[in-house]
Structure 1
Amino acid sequence: MRVLVTGAAGFIGSHAAEALNALGHDVLGVDNFSSHYDVALKKLNAASLKAQNIPIIHKNLNDSNLAESLPKDLDYIFHFAAQPGISTTSTFNDYLENNVLATKALVDYALGLSNLKLFINIGTSSVYGLEAAFKEDVPPKPASFYGVTKLAAEQLVLQQSREEKLRSCSLRLYSVIGPRERPEKMFAKLIALGLEGKPFPLFEGSDKHLRSFTYVGDIVEGIVSVIGKESILNGEIVNLGTDKEYTSQQGIEAVEQVIGKSIQLNIMPRRAGDQFRTRAIIDKAKTLLDYNPTTTLLDAVKYQVGWYKENFL
C-alpha cells in the first residue's frame, strides 16, 4: 500500500511512518518543519526516517500547489500535522491556519485521489474539554483554541464520510509520551531539566491532574491497525490511549526513579484551558481494532530517558 503521513518529522508522526514502513508499506512523509518547536529535533527525526528510506517532502499543506507536489496514487492518508498543544506563544490564527485551513487543503487534495481507501485524521482528547473521560458519542466541549480547532479539523474530515465523498475516520489520542516527545511537553522537560539539575516549572495544582499517559509505541500500534479496516471505520471516531489513570505527581516520581535524582519544582500560576482529567475509554478501540496497550508508565519513562541520553548527552 502507498501511504502518506503528514507531520512525519514530528513526535508521533515519525513513529507511525517507521511502523508503516516496517509493515512493508510504501511510505511518503510531508512536513513543513515549522519553528513552533525545535526544528533541530524534527531534523533528527527526519534523518532517522531517511535512514530507513522514508522520504519527507518539505511542504506546507496550505501552499497553493500542494496537489502538484504530492502523488495521485495513494491508498491511505494519516494526518498528524497540526499546531500542537496549549501554548501561550501560539495565537488563534496559528491554530486556525495549521489545524483548520491546512486540514481543509489536505481534504481537498484527497478528494482528487481515485484510489484512496481511508483518510485517517489524528485527533485529540482535548476536544472533550476540561475533563476527558468519556465515550466517543459524548458531545465535545473544548476549552482551548487547540481543542476548538482540532474539533473543527476532525469535522471537516468526517463531513466527507457523511457526504459519501471519501472514507474517513478520526482517532482521538490521549497524553502520548515516549522518545521524540516535543521539548515543551511534560516528560521531555522533566527528563531534560532533571538530568541537568534544574527546576521544573509546574503549573499550580497540576500535580493532582489525572492523565492517561500512553506510550507512543502502544498508540502507534493502534493507529497502524486501521489498515484494511476502512469499511468498519468509515465515519467513526475512536479513542486511543491507556485506560489507566496517573496523577502528574506520579509521572514526576517515575522520572525521578529512572534518573535517580529528585527534581526541584518551581510552582507557576495556573494555565487556562488545561485539562483536569483524561482517562481513555477504549471499549470501541478494543472492539474495532483489537487494541490493547500494555506498556507501563515506568517502562515508557525508561524508554524515553534512554533515547534522551543517547541523543543529547
Structure 2
Amino acid sequence: MPKVLVTGSAGFIGGYVVEELLGRGYDVVGLDNFSKYGKVHKSYDDHPNYLLVEGDARDTDLMVKLLDGADHLIAGAALIGGISYFHTYPYDLLATNERIIASSCDAAIEAHRNGSLQKVTYLSSSMVFESTTTWPSVEGDERKVPPPLSSYGFQKLAVEYFARAAWDQYKLPFTILRPFNCVGVGESRALGDVDVLSGNVKLAMSHVVPDLVQKVLKGQDPLHVLGSGEQVRHYTYGADLARGIVTAMEHPAATNDDFNLSTAESTTVSHLAEVIWRKIKGADEPLRIVSDDPFEYDVQKRVPDVAKAREKLGFEATTSLDEMLDEVIPWITQAVADGRI
C-alpha cells in the first residue's frame, strides 16, 4: 500500500487521521515532538503498518528523510490550542508555525522533484474566516474578506498561501482542508497551558465542549460560559474529520483545490451547554448560565458552506452532537477522576 507521512501525528486531529489511514490499509509514518501534551500513547502504536518518529517538523533534513518513498504528506503539525492558548502565545504560534510550514514545504518540494511524493494535504482552519461578516463561509471567501486579526488565524491563512505558492513555482500538488470545531476524545491539558478561571473552575483546554463538560462534572452552578452564549459553532466529530481528510488526500477531484470539512449543523454555545447539562444532570435539574467576559478573538459566528466537499468528494460529516457527547462525556468523566483535566 502507499506510504503516508503525517506530521503532528500525536495531536488531537492527527490521532484520528492515523487511525483512519491504518484502517484503510496505508503504511503510515507519524512525526511528532510531543511539545503539547508530552508523551502520549495511542491504541495503534504497535500496529505493524505504523512507525512513530519523535522529531520536529522544523527539521527539514529529517522531513526529507521521512518523505523518501512516501506517496503523500499530511501536513498537520502546528502549535494549536483553545482560545486562551492563542491569546497567551500569539508570537510563538505565529513564529513556530511559520517555521513548520516552511520546512514542510521545502522538504515536500524536494521529495516531489526527486521521488514518489504525489501531493501535500494541508490542514488549515476555520479561523481563516475569522473576520467575515457574511455566512455561510464558502471556499474562496478567505481571499475576499478582511484577513484574520488573531495571529493563529493569520498564520493558518499563510499556510494556504504556502500551498498555492509551492504549486505556482514548483508544481507541488496540494489540497487545502479547513476543519471546523473538532470534538472527540484523547485531548488533555496542554503542557504550556496557563490557569484561566471560569467561575470557580479552571479551564481545561479552552475548548468549549471539554470545558463545559468538566465544569458540570465538578458541580459548577451557575454554569459559566465565555461571552453571551449566542456564539454559533459547527461541532464536528474527529473521526468524521479524519474520514474527510483521508478522502480528500485520495480523491483526484481534490487536487489543487480547497474544502471546508464540517458538520452542516449550527449550534449555539448556550444550546450546547444545555445539552451537556441535561446529559449529566438530568431533565429536572434547573440550568442557570452566567456570562463571563469573552476573549478578544472570540469569533461570534463560524458557519461553513459544506456543499463543495459533498458534491466533489462525496464527503459528509454525519455524527450528531448527541452521538459525539455520548462518547466524549464518559471520556472526560474518567479524565477528571484521573486528575488529567
Specify if TM > 0.5.
Answer: yes
5+ long unaligned stretches in structure 1 = none
> In structure 1, what is the Cα distance between the partners aligned to 2:324 and 2:215?
18
Contact 1:158 1:169 (8 Å CA) reproduced: no
- What pairs up with 1:1-313 in 2 under 5 angstroms? 1-35=2-36, 38-39=37-38, 43-44=39-40, 46-53=41-48, 54-63=50-59, 65-67=61-63, 69-85=65-81, 86=83, 87=85, 90-113=88-111, 114-131=115-132, 133-138=136-141, 139-140=144-145, 141-181=147-187, 183=189, 184=205, 185-198=207-220, 201-205=224-228, 207-229=229-251, 231-260=252-281, 267-309=291-333, 313=337
* Structure 1 residues 127 and 265, CA gap change in structure 2 (3 angstroms): same
Say whether the 8 Å CA contact 1:127–1:150 is kept in structure 2: yes
Cross-structure match for 2:199: none
Of 67-76 and 163-172, deviating more is 67-76
> Quick one: which amino acid aligns to residue 106 of structure 2?
D
Contact kept in structure 1, 2:121 and 2:249, CA below 8 Å: no
TM-score by length of 2: 0.82
SS at match of 2:43: helix
Deviation at 1:16?
Answer: 0.5
Alignment check: 8 A CA contact 1:201 1:267 kept: yes
1:154-192: per-residue Cα shift (whole Å, max 9, x none)? 211221222352110110111111112454111112222
- Cα distance in 2 for partners of 1:58, 1:83 equals 16
Rg larger for: 2
Structure-2 separation of matches of 1:196 and 1:214: 25
C-alpha separation in 1, matches of 2:33 and 2:74: 15
Q: Which residue of 1 aligns with 2:197?
A: none
Residue-pair matches, total: 305
Deviation at 1:101, TM superposition (A): 1.3
Structure 2 vs 1, CA of residues 106 and 68 (structure 1 numbering), >3 Å: closer, same or farther? closer
Larger mean CA deviation between 130-139 and 144-153 belongs to 130-139
Question: Which secondary structure state, in structure 2, belongs to the residue aligned with residue 180 of structure 1?
Answer: coil
- Cα distance in 1 for residues equivalent to 2:216 and 2:52: 33
- Give the SS at the match of 2:297: coil
- Which amino acid in 2 is paired with 1:260? K
Given residue 319 of structure 2, which amino acid in structure 1 is its aligned partner? T
SS at structure 2 position matched to 1:156: helix
Verify the 8 A CA contact 1:83 1:146 in the aligned structure 2. no
What TM-score do the two structures reach when normalised by structure 1? Answer: 0.89
Please provide the CA RMSD for this pair: 2.2
Q: Distance in 1 between matches of 2:273 and 2:52?
A: 35
Q: Which amino acid aligns with 1:13?
A: G
Stretches of structure 2 that go unaligned for 5 or more consecutive residues are 190-204
Structure 1 position 64, deviation (Å): 5.5
